Amino acid sequence: MKTFAIKSTGLAPSVLELVNEIENGYLVRIVRKHEDWEDVSEEFMTRELFETCMRTGYIAELSA
C-alpha cells in the first residue's frame, strides 16, 4: 500500500493511503492525526483528481 503526505498548514500531519485501485480511480484512506486522536475516513478518488494532486504537490509519496 502506498502512502502519501497531504500538504497542510496545521500542526496535525495528514496522510493518504491507497487502499485499492478500481476502474476509474482509487479507494483511499485519509488519516488526520491530532494530539490525542486520529480522524480516519475512506473515500473514492478519481484518477484525474489523484493525478492533479500529485502534479500540483498537494500530495507527495512517502518513502517506505
pTM of the model: 0.84
Q: What is the pLDDT of residue 1?
A: 82
28 in helix, strand or coil?
strand
Q: What is the pLDDT of residue 64?
A: 62
Residues 6+ apart with CB under 8 A from 15: 3, 4, 5, 6, 30, 31, 33, 62
Q: What is the pLDDT of residue 8?
A: 82
Q: What is the pLDDT along the chain (64 residues), one digit of tens a residue?
A: 899 999 987 777 899 999 999 999 999 999 998 888 899 999 999 999 999 999 999 999 998 6
Within 10 Å of residue 33's Cβ, how many Cβ atoms? 14
DSSP classification of residue 7: P
Separation of alpha carbons 17 and 2, rounded Å? 6
